[in-house]
Chains A and B, each alone.
Chain A
Amino acid sequence: MSTARADILDSIRRSLGREGLDAATEAGLRQRLTAHRRQIGLARTEKDHAELVTLFEDMATALAATVAHIPNSAALPGAVATYLAEQNLPAHLVVAPALQNIPWAERPTLTVRFGKAVNEDLVSVTPVIGAVAETGTLVLTSGPDSPTSLNFLPDTHIVMVNRSQITGRYEDVWDKIRDQGALPRTVNMISGPSRTGDIEQTIQLGAHGPRRLHILILDEA
C-alpha cells in the first residue's frame, strides 16, 4: 500500500504550519459544506418570471440555439415534425424514456424509439431538469429516463422545457437536483450546440456533439 496519501496530507499540513484541524474549525467547515450558501449572482437575473423567460430565449438564441413555443406536451410531436421538415432532416427519433407518455403515434410520419442513443441516431428528443436564464443554459441529469448519450451523439438535439422550469440562476437548479436526493452520475449544463474555435479562432458549430440545438418551450407547463 502506497503511503502517497498520508505523505501528501502531511506535506500540506507541514506547509500550512499546523497539525490537523481542531474540532471547532472542522465543525465549521462541515457546516459550510452542507449550508449550500449562495454567493453573488448577476443582477440580470433579478427579474420576474416572464422577463426571465425572455432573457433565457435571448441568451439561448445568441448561442445559436433555436427556440419555439408550443402550448403543451400534446403539441410536441407536431412541433418536432414541423422543425425536422423545415430543416430537411430525417423524421427518425430517439427519445428519452421520460417522454414515453407523449402522443407520438398521432404523428405517423415520425418513427420513434425510446432509450439511449447509438452512433447512427441523427435526432434526439429529451426533457430537462432546469433551464437557466442567466446564460441560456439547459440542465439535464442522467438516469434511466434520460440517458446522457442522447445529449451528445445525435446531430440534432431537440429539448423540451416547461416554462415553469426556467429560473434565473444555476443555483436554483442545484436546489432542485438536491431535492431529488444524491447527485445523478452526470449533470450536463448545455449552452448552445457543440462548437470549436481551435482553428484560427474561427467558431464552427458541430465539433463533436450536436450541430443543432432546438428548444421547445411548453407555455402551459
Chain B
Amino acid sequence: MHATSHAFVANSKNSLNDATLRKALGNMRGGFVNKRAATIAKVPEWEALRDTGRAIKDHTLAHLDFYLEAYEAKVTASGGVVHWARTAEEARQIVLGICRTVDAKTVTKGKSMIAEEIGLNDFLEQKGITPIETDLGEYIIQLRQEPPSHIIAPAIHLTAEQVAETFRKSHTHLVPDRPLGEHRQLVEEARTELRAKYFAADVGITGANFLIAETGTSVIVTNEGNGDLTQLLPKVHIAIASLEKIVPTLEDATTLLRLLARSATGQEFSAYTTFSTGPRRAEDPDGPEQYHVVLLDNGRSGMLGSEFQDMLRCIRCSACMNHCPVYSAVGGHAYGWVYPGPMGAVLTPTLIGVDEAGHLPNASTFCGKCEQVCPMKIPLPKMMRHWRERQAEAKLSPKAMRWGIGAWAFMATRPRLYRLFTRAVAFGLSLAARKKGRFTSLPLAGGWTRVRDMPAPQGQTFQALYAKRRSR
C-alpha cells in the first residue's frame, strides 16, 4: 500500500470537512466505546487479567527465539510448513510460490492486517491471481478500492447508504432497483455473493490472532464465520502472521482471549474462535490438504530491546483508536497507511520510517486514554514522545518548533529566570488586555487566535500562588 502518512495534516483537513465521514465516525461512541465499558464492568478481575496478559507477552518476547523454534517444530510435526520472511517482499513471494504450486486462480481471504501491511492483494492481482476479501467490511472496501480505515472494522468510515451504492455499482448482474435500504438486505446480498466464492477458491489466506508454541496452532477470532469458511474449503490454507503473535501455551492464549474481544467490540467473547493445527488428518472428511504459516519479521526483531519493544505486546484489539479523540475526529484514512490511531502512530514510523510517518506521533493530545484502555498496558503516549525526541534529534521536526522547545528548555532549567520572565509576561499581557481581558490577535499565537480569542492572564502566576499556598 502506498503510504500518504507524510500528508497527515492535509488528509486530516479533508476528513474534518467530510460530513458523511463525520456521520459514520459518530457511530463509534455508541458502539465500541460504550459496549466495552459495559462488558468490562461485569469483570471485576479486569486489572488482574491485564497484568497477567502483559506478563505473558513480556515473558514471550524475552524468549522469542526459543518460542518461535518450539512453535515451528510443532507445526512441522503436525504436517504443516513454516516459512520465515524477513521483509514484506519475501512474504509476498512465499505466498505467490505456494499459490503457484496449486495453479491458483482465485484466493479467498479472511481479514488480515499483515496482508495489508505487505500489500498482498495488489501484488497477487499483478501476478494474475484474484484475491477475494470475505470479511464484510473488507469486501466492501475492496469493491471500493479503498484501504481499511480501522484494524477490526475496516469500513467504519462508511454509511449504509454508501455501502448500498457500492453494491449497486459492483453487483451489476442483480436487479438494479432492488431494495437495499436496510442493513439486513446489505448483509444478505454480501453473504449470497461470497458463498460461491469460498467453494471456487484454490487457496484460503487468513491472518492469525495468536500462534501457540505448545501445539503449533494458529488462532483466528471472527464474528462472521468468513475466516472459517476461508480456511476450511480450499485445498490450501495459508496463515500469515507477524512473529510477535506467538504465545507459549493454550492457557496463555486463553488468558489473552479473555482480554481481546472485550477490549475490541465489547463482546464477552467473539462468535468464532478457531484453533487450527496442521492440514486435515488422514481420516478427516473436510479441511485443507496443505497448511502453511508465513512468519513475517519486517523490522519487528529490531524493536526488541529498544524503547519500542512494548509495542510488540499489542494484540490488535483497536481499543486505543476507538477511544482516541484524534482518530474519532479524522478517521483512519488520514493516517495514510495500514495502522491508524495511537498504535499506528507508534508502529507506522518503525515500519515505514519516521521521515514518512513523522506526523503520526505528533497527532496526539496526550490525553492518555489509549494507554488507559489498552488491555496490554502499552505505554503509547510515552512511545509517541520517544518518536518526537528522535525527530528533534534528527532535526525532522519544524525549525520553529525545535527553536521554541529549545527556548522553553533553557528557561525551565533556570527556575529564577523562569519565574521572573513568566511574571513579567503575565503582567505585560494583563496590562495590554486590560479592557477586554482577552486578545483577538497575538504575535506567535495566530494559529490560536484565528479561530478563537486568547484569554489574558489574570492575577498572579501559578508559581507565585503555589509558593503562597505552601507558606500558609
Contact = CB atoms under 8 A, between A and B. Distances in A.
Interface stretch (B300-308, B333-341, B370-378, B457-465): B300-308
Nearest to B274: A188
A37 to B, nearest CB: 6
Interface residues of B, number: 101
Given A33-B249, A192-B271, A208 B49 contact: no
Tell which of B44, B158, B305 has the most Cβ of chain A within 10 Å. Answer: B305
Interface stretch (B57-65, B168-176, B201-209): B57-65
Interface in B204-246: 213-215, 217, 223-226, 228-229, 232-233, 243
B268 A191 contact: yes
Interface string B120-139: 00000000000000111100
B279 interface: yes
B243 A8 contact: yes
13 contacts: A29-B70, A148-B232, A171-B251, A185-B279, A185-B281, A187-B275, A188-B228, A188-B273, A191-B267, A191-B270, A196-B136, A199-B186, A201-B30
Given A188-B272, A199-B160, A207 B225 contact: yes
A143 B303 contact: no
Given A8-B243, A40-B48, A152 B78 contact: no
B81 interface: no
A142 B291 CA distance: 15
Contact of A204 (B183, B226, B229, B287): B183
Interface of A: 2, 4-5, 7-9, 11-13, 15-17, 20-21, 25-26, 29, 32-34, 36-43, 59, 63, 115-116, 119, 134-137, 142-144, 147-149, 151-153, 170-171, 174, 182-202, 204, 206-210
B116 interface: no
B284 A20 contact: no
B269 A191 contact: yes
A185 B70 contact: no
A171 B304 contact: no
Contacts of B273: 137, 188-189, 191
B52 interface: yes
B268 A13 contact: no
B357 interface: no
A8 B28 contact: no
Given A63-B268, A194-B271, 19 more contacts: A15-B304, A16-B62, A21-B65, A29-B67, A33-B249, A39-B52, A39-B56, A134-B269, A143-B284, A148-B232, A188-B274, A189-B269, A191-B269, A194-B223, A198-B135, A198-B155, A199-B183, A201-B153, A204-B184
